[in-house]
């Protein structure tokens, strides 16, 4: 357990509460909680880069998973609240489901024999490392910007502003582009050296 991984788990734990606050229409509290989640996201990345001892292979999976869980929850609940369009949310969730499925497949392929269920979910047995593409990082930043502006819209009174719709289209374009980049980039993941299990 490293500090960045602890912050990721904290962000994951706060995500259902954030979704609930949106569904009940408490946008002030949800915006504040989202801002706190954003701070933990920046903080865990800074700590991992600044202190090599805090880096972990597990973190390379956990951090993007936490982001995707947060983004998916925000987009779905904001769509239910009729603040985001259904097609955009469907596109984003579909892309993330594909990426998560690919992550599980990579885990299976990189796991040395015997491929048991307990070893598959053993977080102390890292077998692959993920590296996001540049356009994926841009897309994540734009998605976070969109949900931040959307959460703030009811609070500051600019729901349905034309600039918000422009941000919808920009998010859609970068979402598709990032999905394509993962399909064709050869550096998004790498298998680690296999380690023989101690008890087989």
- Secondary element (H or E) of residue 150: helix 134-156
Cβ 1 vs Cβ 34: under 8 Å: no
Question: pTM of whole model > 0.85?
Answer: no
Q: Determine the pLDDT at residue 199.
A: 42
Other C-beta atoms closer than 10 Å to the C-beta of 175 total 22
Spatial distance between the Cα atoms of 27 and 29, rounded to a whole number of angstroms: 6
From first to last of its 200 residues, the chain has per-residue pLDDT tens of: 788 888 888 899 999 999 999 999 999 999 999 999 888 888 877 887 788 777 776 766 777 788 888 988 999 999 999 999 999 999 998 988 888 888 888 888 888 888 888 888 776 777 877 778 889 889 989 998 999 999 999 989 898 899 999 999 999 999 999 988 887 776 777 777 754 444 43
DSSP, collapsed to helix, strand or coil, labels residue 24 as: coil
> E strands, 4-58, where?
none
Task: Tell me which DSSP letter residue 194 carries.
Answer: P
Per-residue tokens: 11: 């962000």
Q: Determine the pLDDT at residue 172.
A: 96
Q: Determine the pLDDT at residue 119.
A: 84
Per-residue tokens: 75: 């987009």
Q: Determine the pLDDT at residue 196.
A: 45
């Amino acid at each position: 357990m490293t500090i960045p991984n602890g912050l990721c788990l904290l962000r994951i734990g706060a995500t259902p509460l954030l979704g609930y606050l949106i569904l009940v229409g408490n946008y002030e509290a949800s915006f504040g909680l989202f801002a706190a989640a954003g701070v933990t996201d920046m903080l865990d990345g800074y700590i991992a880069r600044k202190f090599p001892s805090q880096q972990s292979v597990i973190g390379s999976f956990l951090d993007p998973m936490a982001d995707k869980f947060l983004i998916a929850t925000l987009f779905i609940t904001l769509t239910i609240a009729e603040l985001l369009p259904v097609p955009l949310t469907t596109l984003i969730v579909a892309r993330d489901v594909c990426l998560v499925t690919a992550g599980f497949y990579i885990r299976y392929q990189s796991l040395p024999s015997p491929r048991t269920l307990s070893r598959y979910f053993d977080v102390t047995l890292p077998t692959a490392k993920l590296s996001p593409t540049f356009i994926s990082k841009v897309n994540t930043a734009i998605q976070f910007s969109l949900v931040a502006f959307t959460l703030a819209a009811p609070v500051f009174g600019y729901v349905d502003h034309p600039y918000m719709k422009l941000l919808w289209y920009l998010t859609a374009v970068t979402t598709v582009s990032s999905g394509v980049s993962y399909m064709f980039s050869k550096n998004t993941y790498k298998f680690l050296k296999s380690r023989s299990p101690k008890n087989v």
